[in-house]
Structures are given as structure tokens and as C-alpha cells.
Amino acid sequence: MVKGVWPMSSTFRARDPQFLVVATPLPSLPLPLRVASFPSHLGPWTPGLPSSLRFRAPGRVPISLPRAVSRRRSPRSLAPPSPPTSICDRPADSKIQRWDEGGRVPVGFILGSRLHMPTTPRSRSQARTTRPWILSGMDFADSRRKPNFTGKIAVAAALTVLCIIVLKQSPTFSGTSVFSRHETGVTHVLVTGGAGYIGSHATLRLLRDKYRVTIVDNLSRGNMGAVRVLQRLFPEPGRLQFIYADLGDAKAVNKIFSENAFDAVMHFAAVAYVGESTMEPLRYYHNITSNTLTVLEAMAAHNVNTLIYSSTCATYGEPDTMPIVETTPQNPINPYGKAKKMAEDIILDFTKSKKSNMAVMILRYFNVIGSDPEGRLGEAPRPELREHGRISGACFGAALGIIEGLKIHGNNYQTADGTCVRDYIDVTDLVDAHVKALDKSQPGKVGIYNVGTGRGRSVNEFVEACKKATGASIKVEYLSRRPGDYAEVYSDPSKIQRELNWTAQYTDLGQSLSQAWKWQKTHPNGYGLA
């Protein structure tokens, strides 16, 4: 077999003595072309090849050449005709046709300069005689050389290394997530209900204080918009992750604990409306009491020994004396307060067992208002829940026209103006109390604290402050008492001030409502369409 590389020229003549012209049955071939020798017994000469062939593009690109005219070879018993001794002895338009060894497929044409062939035919049993062809003006290259596998492997290896380097820069590349391992100097806190009103503010504070946070929320009351705000504020890898899960699913909860290395749990997740609890008591017992048991079991199984539990002053019911201290008897009068007290009892019973060395802080807080002072987060209750929820949400809903007026349940209580008296605590102060409780928690110790301002305000006082903060004329409608409500509740915060060095800072009711109203005005549709 003889091989050759075509020179970089555009037109070749059949009788040009400097070049060999090859055509194949294929419509095009890449350069270089392979030139094959033609034994004498392979087929007759057939006239008709054009005198010139044109190459369409320079270099190693496809070229277009005429196909061979197929002619079946004579039967094997017949001797093939002898070709002339030299191609160039034939006319300029002569054509050479050959077949493959099966004798059927035409392979190509050859025109060239003095390509001598044997003058006598030979049988198939005879060995072929190979004779060198002298192809002047052509460079020869072995197109059948082995592919450059070494080079290809080197390129593939280089690309692989590059991909690994890029992936290693990704925070999710490592075999184990940073959330799944303990790190010295980093406290990883699980915040249940972290997409909710209080939970999202607590997460913001924890992240600001360099904690690592995992939020678990089923978004039944929380807002994914709040989570997105937090993610934008703290985009650094290993700071915040969100897990969508229901704490009522014990398998899911256990899986979360098995895949994450938590140092502490702040358990906020709960439905928390007194009026709703009287209408759906079983839901409250399941969501609050049962889910707290599930979380506690997972903590025990995975050796997570610090719990900050979000409880409520509703566990006290309607005490005989005011203000409320931590030793005030707990006699809840609604399913919400009862479910919270049951959860407290489960936690306290577990801490008394020999198997527990848990650090527990139970915070019983009062009516929460306000929003982040920098306007990053706020209260965004679902419209259908505004009447059941916090009075602040209902008041802002009326000011925005989302609900028709403000409905006050009861104006005949034994109070100064006949409306209920409550202790309103700003959410920023409440979150500060949680962080200080986490910082002061000790293994094997239980702390129970009231979180309030120590001052009670009536519902009428609150409504007037809300009108002033919003500048809106809010229509007020008085209804009959709501089941489960109590006349007067406010705290004595002396213990938390003494033991945790915590004191409420945002005690001006009007200021807290004004700050919350700023967020409400810029987020009339909550987080969704703001």
C-alpha cells in the first residue's frame, strides 16, 4: 500500500506528470488521501474519466471527486484482461476501475505519471508483486498510524483535574456537609419554625452573632419569603440551611438529626392562636405536645443536649394575683395553654431521668409585637388568620384594608376600661432573651423564665396606639367574649433580669408599632409580592 498527501493546489490535470489523481466511490474524503496500488488482475480499463478534477478547499478538508462506474467482474474462470503497461499510454480521459477482493464494489480511479503494472495476469493463488511507485511532487504520510491515545488521555486527565478543582471550590462538594459535623468555636442551632414571625427574627439574631443555623419548617404558618431574606443577608457557605419538613413525621425528624450535627435546639414551631385552639383542640395537642415529644426523642437519640423551649404565659391561665412570677400556679384555660403545659411537663420529666444531662431553658413569654428595627423582617400572617392571630396583625390588616375593621372580643372584663389587659413584648427583646438563655444554659440544669416588660396595657390602649402609628381611621367593633380568654395577664421579669441579665429595651408601645407599620406599608402582601 502506498500513501500520499495531496499538495495544496486547486486544479490537477490527468496528464500532469507531477501528480497522481485519485477518485473514490465516496462523495468526499478528508485529506490526506490514501493511494492504493492496483494489481493487474483487478478489472478492465474503462474510458470516460474527465481530464481534470477540481479540489474545493485547501488543506485537510473534504474534496469532491467523481464516483466510479460499477462494472461486475468477469467470472472467476475467465482471465481478466490485461491493462496497458502504463496509464499514461492511454488517452487522457481513460479510467481505471478496480474491485475489492470480493470482486463487486468499485473502489476508485487512478490517473498519474508512469504507474507501471505487471504485463501478465496472475491467478489468485499467485503471490502479489509489490512495486514501488515513484510519485513525484507528493509528500508521503502514513495515515494508518495508531491514534494518539496518549494525547487524548492527557487531555481527559487535565479536564478531570480542572473539574475537581472547580467542584472543590463549591460548598456542597465535600463528602460531608459542614452542617453534618461539629466544629470547634461554632455552635450549630436547629431553629424549628424558623420561617415564622418569631423564629425568623431569632434566626436573624443568631446569624448576626455568628451561629450556624438550620431552619426546619413545614410553612403551614411560616413564610418562605422570610427564609429568602435571611439567605440573601447571609449567603456565606455553612451559615444557614433550610429544610422543609413536618415535625409530626418522626422518621423525617430522626433523619434530619442523623444528617446534621446540632449543638442546640430552639423549638418555636407551633400553632399559637388561643381562639383557634378552642375550635381545633386536637390539632393543637398534636402540633404542640406530640411534636415536642418527637423533637425531644430525636435529641435524646442523637445526643443533642441543649433545648431552648418557646412556651407561653397561657400556661398560667387566669391567676388570682398579678403580676405573674415563675412560681405562679399553672392552670391553663384553653387548649393552646394546656398543650404548651403538657409539653413543658414532658421536658421536665425527661430532665429528671438518669439518662438525661440536658440543658433546658423554658421561656414563657407574653404578647409579641414589633419587627426588626432595620426593616428586614416583619409579621406576615395569612389573611384568613388575622382575626384569630395577634392583635397587631389584625390592627395592621384593618389599617391596610385587608380586613373590614378591628373586632375586639369583650369589653366587660373587670379591668379599667373593660377590655383585656396584656403585657406586650417587642420581638427584638424576645429574641435577645432566647440568645442569652442559650448562652447561659448548663448541662443538667433547667431554667424557667417569664419574658415580658412587667407592664400591662389594655386592648383599647393598644388600638389607640395602633391608630396613631398607622395614621389610619380603624373601625372598631366590640363582640362578645371569646372562649379561652382571660381578663388580665402581665409579668414580673425580675428573675430573668437577675439570672440572665436581660431587660426589655423596646418598651414604648407606640414606637414598636410604628416600626412594625413601616414594614407593613412596604410589604402589604407580606413577603410574597412585596
Instruction: Give the active site residue among 211, 316, 336, 506.
Output: 336
- Sort strands 45-47 and 11-13 into parallel, antiparallel or unpaired: unpaired
How far is the CA of 41 from the CAs of 31, 77, 122, 348, 374, in angstroms?
28, 13, 6, 104, 96
CB-based contact 391:462 (threshold 8 Å):
yes
H runs (alpha helix) in 218-354? 224-233, 250-259, 274-279, 281-284, 291-301, 335-352
Secondary structure element (H or E) that encloses residue 188, with its range: strand 188-192
Q: How many CA within 13 A on the CB side of residue 240?
A: 26
Q: 419-443 as b/e, with b when 16 or more CB fall inside 10 Å?
A: bbbbbbbbbbbbbbbbbbbbeebee
336 part of the active site: yes
Residues pairing with 242 in the sheet: 215
Output the nine-digit C-alpha cell for 519: 414594614
First to last CA, the chain: 78
CB-based contact 19:137 (threshold 8 Å):
yes
In sequence order, which residues have a C-beta less than 8 Å from that of residue 154 and are 6 or more positions away?
none
Closest CA to 502 of 468, 454, 442, 444: 454
Integer Rg of the chain from CA = 44
List residues with catalytic annotation: 336
